[in-house]
Amino acid sequence: MAKMITDSWVVAESGNIPRAVRFYAKLGIKPSVRMSSYVELPAPGGTAIGFYTLGHRKVRKQAGGWQIMFRVNHIEKLRAALKRKGVRTSPIERAPGESKLSWCTDPDGNRLTLMEFGKRGT
């Protein structure tokens, strides 16, 4: 069978694309595609994040939803740097295997989880 799926990325509706771009720039992520109703940002690790707008028409939100996970090093230092840039993050929580996580939301309420892995396979 021929390869049918050739690419993938995460997309979310944005109420204000320029505001979303400014927020992600604070994380060091800058757009690779810019259109009037769509922007795409290449995140570390190969994931692309897309934001779109339908103008005055809103997409109905579904239950559940997505979150984007970012694997990070030195989560305490990253949180401090984000705080200096005005990005509010949750307190660091412990996760299995001595991992640590914190999260924040972008201006449209999309959840971003920052994860520093501890011991593997625990």
| Residue among 122, 115, 89, 120 at smallest CA distance from 103 | 89
Token pair of 8, please?
Answer: 């993938």
- Provide block-wise average pLDDT over 10 residues at a time, the chain (122 residues): 65 90 95 90 90 70 67 92 95 87 90 83 40
Concatenated DSSP letters of 60-77: PPPSS--EEEEE-S-HHH
Measured CA to CA, the distance from residue 113 to residue 92 in angstroms comes to: 11
Measured CA to CA, the distance from residue 36 to residue 4 in angstroms comes to: 29
Domains of the chain, first to last: 10-55+67-116 (3.10.180.10)
Q: What is the pLDDT of residue 65?
A: 61
Q: What is the pLDDT of residue 68?
A: 85
Token pair of 66, please?
Answer: 């997505």
Q: What is the pLDDT of residue 122?
A: 40
Q: What is the pTM of this model?
A: 0.73
